[in-house]
Structure formats: structure tokens, C-alpha cells
Structure 1
């Protein structure tokens, strides 16, 4: 392996690690500080804990938009969402079969389908308008941000109605402020290293930025969801594992992609419909798993199927990229 490629790979891996740790540190400090000043528990869960696992995707995508590497942004969002369902739920379900709350089936999964359909419409400029190029424009980014605000309102109403609380401890002002500052620095540096390392690696290996975003960066920035869901499954908390994945997928499409498009319009590569179709099928399989075998559950066999599909999809995508 050439020295330059090795340096870029190390930069990418270290950047992802700093991103994940920075997000965790920021959320720890912010949630502890919020409790200290009397912010309601459900608000903390809504705005910090749920939002926290999407911070790596958000910072990477915004950084990529500023660096004119916008192809990474769309690949990162779609790739992260595919990994969340096929890879993360596959691993979590193998650790322990997942029992699914009916609310998840009736509300969260339909919202995930809706976000995919909206994204399909936004990347179909050539089909719908006859345009020579397709972009996710700034105005569409604003629509996605508005959708994100609406989703926050939906979550707030649900949490308040269900009286959902989360355990946690207060934190001193100085300690909380230091953790927040460290977390923010980690997010900024980590996103810079991740994007520059990923772009350089794609150039050196002769693969597209979309592929790097779909797999290397997408899986790397999904590590918070992977760790959260795996631990939740191991501890017998399937609602956390499933809710974390579903909420993160909606956050990625609405907030992460919306914020990226506001910075710079996002060009749509030709292969995006294939990857969006995989995401749609993955979400459909998750829905069908609730009605096959034991109702409202993901068995180990079904989890193994999800994981196998992800491996096949990843191998096929890399093969098509190298041998078109």
C-alpha cells in the first residue's frame, strides 16, 4: 500500500474515532448541564440523546458541503440509513431477538417510508422535470429542515403524552462546559479529517466519493447507533435499539441532508436510485418481519437475513465500482 493511501486511511479511521468520541462527550456534558439548570427530562431525551447519535453524520456532511465534496453527503445519509437497518439491527437481533412496540410499527416505520419517498422525489429532477442534471437544492433542503421541526413536534407531543423520562445525573457548570467544548472540538476536527481522508482515499483508489460515503464513512459515522443498539439488545431493551435506528434514519434525511443542501446544492449521482431502492426494501423487510413468525418481533433468523443482505449489497457495490 502506498504511503499516501495509508496516511489517508489512517486519517479517515482516526477522524471517525474522534467524531464518535466527540459526539459522546458533547452529549454527556450537554445532558448533565441541562439537568443542572432544570430542563425537563423529556426535552433532554428529545433534543440531546436522540439527536446525539446523528451528530457524526451531520458534522461530516456539512464539512463535505463546505469542501465542495457534496457527493459524499448523499452517499453518507443513504449508506448510514441502510447500515442502521441491515447491519445494526442485524447485529442487535443476533445478540438477542428484538420485541417491537406496536407504536414503532404504526408510526415510526411509516415515517421512515415517507422520508424515503420524499427523498425519491427530490432526486428525480431528470424524470420529473426533464432536467439534464439532478440536485437536492437549497429550497428542498429548507423543506427537509421544516420536516425535521415537524418531527420534533411529533416526538415532543408523544413523549409528553406518554410521560417518558430518562435517568441521568446532574453535572457542574464548569465540568459540563468543558465537556461540551471538548466535544465540539472533537466534532470539528473529526469531520475535517474524515472528509479529507475519505476524498483523498477515493481519488487514490479510483473509486467514487459516493462509494466512500456509502460504506466507509456511513458505517463509521453509524458507530454510535451500532454501539447503542447492540448494548440495548444485550441488556434486553429492544425499544431503545429500534427507536434509536428509526429516529436516526429520520434525522439523517431531514436534518443532516437538509443542512447539507442549505450549505451547497447536492449533486445526485446516477446510482442513487439503486441505493434508495435498497433502503426502501430494507425498510419493507423490517415492516414484514413484524408479521412473519412471531408478531411484532425480529427473530435471530430474520436478523441474520438482514445482515446477510447488507454483506451481499456491500460486496456487489464494491465489485460494480471496481469492475463496471
Structure 2
């Protein structure tokens, strides 16, 4: 039964992503804002909802390893496999603002995470803990990011008021299509995570390994199918904005909310994964700066990096 549910989940993810990209890109045109902003907000928040659900439930159950491992594993998956496959299918054009502000914000969030979980090193405490006050700091960072996005969106609207909206493009229809796609993505992602985890436990995998692989990959499938769908439709802004926005939401909102609900104790092994996440985010930044395009070569390198990382964590655990 688990295998059947896994296939059904994948089907919902693929169809949901197709509807979600179509609806959200049309909403961007109706709002007269660049697709990258829709990718950074509506799409990113929507595709991050499985991570939020899993991590918050894990926090409520006192399972910090799942909560932290899910976010870190998902972010690594997004930066490598999601961007890599999308770029391999269709080169992703990168706007200058993305390299100047949005990707650096990802680096700031990942750097802040490393600092806030390093209690034994920096404050000589007995254990590393992501406390409620750390969670509040993350949520404050998120409010700054949202203020920036809204400001850019309003500025963009003023500059593009002369552009005509294509005939037949309606708010109601596109909102409904976007919502239907999001529901299918969330429900499909939930089916994939639950059935995939059940299969993994049956195969004898450890909890830590399941958290970093099956759950992290499962909750990132919405980002993967959405970005692939966007790349195939040549919506580079949504494809890249989805990844950048999702990684910001995962750290600042998902971990922020999880830590506020229940302080998260930090497993020593996660430090290596956080540093790998920072290194890969830097690599994405460097690739974005080369001709403001992430092409097939960069995509292949990123996919290879994820395969290497996956082999490493399987052998480590």
C-alpha cells in the first residue's frame, strides 16, 4: 500500500506544480511585478509548507533532530538538485538584484543559523540549543526580508503601470488554479513523505538518516517539481526565486516558528551539514555572478555535488 501511495503522491506533486506555476506566473502579470518576486513569496511560501508542517510537528513532539535535519537537508537539496536539474533543462537567467540582495540574504540566514547553534563554542554552555529567543530573532529577520520584497514589488508596479494585461486573464480563475495547485502539492508531498518514511523504516534505515534523506527530499519535492515545471515553461524568475525564497523561509520561518514552539537541542553532526549548506550557497552565488546565468555546466556540477553529499551522509550514518 505504501508504494501505491508513493506513486499517487508523485502524481499529485507533478500536476499540482504545473497548475501552481501557471497560476502564480499569471498573478505576477496581473500584479505587474517581476516573476522573481512571486517566486520569492507566494511560490516559496507555498512549496515550503511541507517543511513547515513536518518541522513544527516534530518540534511539538520534542524531536529536534527531525526539525533541524529536515530544514538543513531540504536547503542543501534545493541549492544543488533543484537548481541543478532546472538549469540543466533550461538555463536560468539571474537578475542583478538576486545576486546583490536575495542570495546574500540566504547566506546571512545560514550564517546566523551557524552562530545561533554554536552555544558551546561561543558561550561556553553545556549544550547547543536553538532557543525561543533565537527563534524570535529568525522571525524578525524574516519580517525585514518581507519588507524588502514588498518595497521592491510596489516600486516595480509603479514602473510598469503602462503595461497592458493580456485579455482573458482573470483574478478569480488564476487564484483558484494557484490554490488548487498548492493543495495538490501539499497533499502529494505529505503522501510521499509518509509512505517514503514507512518504506525506509521497513528497509532498516536509522532515524537520523531518514530525517536527512527521505524526509528532507520528500518535503523538498514541491520545490523540485515546481522549479522544473517553471524551467520547462521558461519562467526563470519563478524557478530560481522559488529556491532562494524557500531556503530563506525554511531557516527564518520554519526553524524560527519551531524554536518558538519548543527550544531545539542540536545534534553535533548537524554542524558539518550546516557548513556544507553555507559552502553550497556560496557556490550558487558564484555561479549566479558568472554572466548572470546558471547554465547546463553549472547545473551538472550542482547535481554532482548533491550525489556526493548523499553518499557522504549515508556512509557517515
TM-score w.r.t. the length of structure 2 is 0.79
CA distance in 1, matches of 2:217, 2:249: 16
Pair 1:135 & 2:133 matched? no
Comparing 230-239 and 50-59, the one that deviates more: 230-239
Which residue does the alignment assign to 2:225? 227
CA contact (8 A) 2:41 2:245 kept: no
Q: Deviations over 1:144-177 (max 9, x none)?
A: 11211111111000111112799963338xx96x
Distance 2:205 2:46 in 1: 30
2:100 to 80, 98, 106: 106
Q: Secondary structure at the match of 1:289?
A: helix
Per mean C-alpha deviation after superposition, the further-off stretch among 8-17 and 105-114 is 8-17
Residue 213 of structure 1, CA deviation: 2.2
Retained in 1: the 8 A contact 2:44–2:246? yes
Distance apart, 1:207 and its partner CA: 4.6
Measured in 2, the distance between the counterparts of 1:229 and 1:22 equals 12
Q: How does 1:110-121 map to 2 (within 5 A)?
A: 110-121=104-115
What's the CA shift for 1:185? 11
Which aligned pairs between 1:304-323 and structure 2 lie closer than 5 A? 304-321=300-317
CA distance in 2, matches of 1:134, 1:183: 36
Deviation at 1:290, TM superposition (A): 3.6
CA 231–202 in structure 1, closer or farther in 2 if over 3 Å, else same: closer
Task: Give the superposition deviation at 1:29.
Answer: 10
The 8 Å contact of residues 46 and 182 in structure 2, kept in 1 or not, is answered as no
Q: Distance in 1 between matches of 2:236 and 2:180?
A: 32
Aligned to 1:93: 87
User: What secondary structure is seen at the aligned counterpart in 2 of 1:316?
Assistant: helix
* Aligned residue in 2 for 1:238: 236
Once residues 23 and 137 of structure 1 are traced to their aligned partners in structure 2, the CA distance between those partners, rounded to angstroms, is 35
1:170 corresponds to 2:144: no
In structure 2, distance between residues paired with 1:64 and 1:26: 27
Structure 1 residue ranges without an equivalent (≥5)? 1-6
Equivalent residue for 1:250?
248
> Matched residue of 1:132: which SS?
coil
Distance 1:210 1:252 in 2: 19
Say whether residues 1:49 and 2:43 are aligned partners: yes
Partner of residue 299, structure 1:
295
CA deviation after TM superposition for structure 1 residue 40, in Å: 6.2
TM-score, normalization by structure 1: 0.78
Report the count of equivalent residues.
305
- 2:65 equivalent to 1:67: no
Give yes or no for contact 1:63–1:195 (8 Å, CA) kept in 2: no
Per-residue CA deviations over 1:225-252 (Å, capped at 9, x if unaligned) read 1122112222222222111111111011
| SS of residue matched to 1:108 | helix
Matches of 2:270 and 2:220, distance apart in 1: 19
Partner of residue 154, structure 2? 160
Q: Distance in 2 between matches of 1:126 and 1:16?
A: 42
Distance 1:197 1:145, change over 3 A: farther
Residues 296, 186 of structure 1: alpha-carbon distance in 2 compared, 3 angstrom cutoff: closer
- Residue 285 of structure 1 corresponds to 283
Partner-residue secondary structure (3-state), 2:171:
coil
Which segments of 5 or more consecutive residues in structure 2 lack a partner in the other structure?
none
1:20–1:221 contact (8 Å) kept in structure 2: no
Per-residue CA distance 1:93-121 (angstroms, 9 max, x = gap) = 11122221111111111111101110001
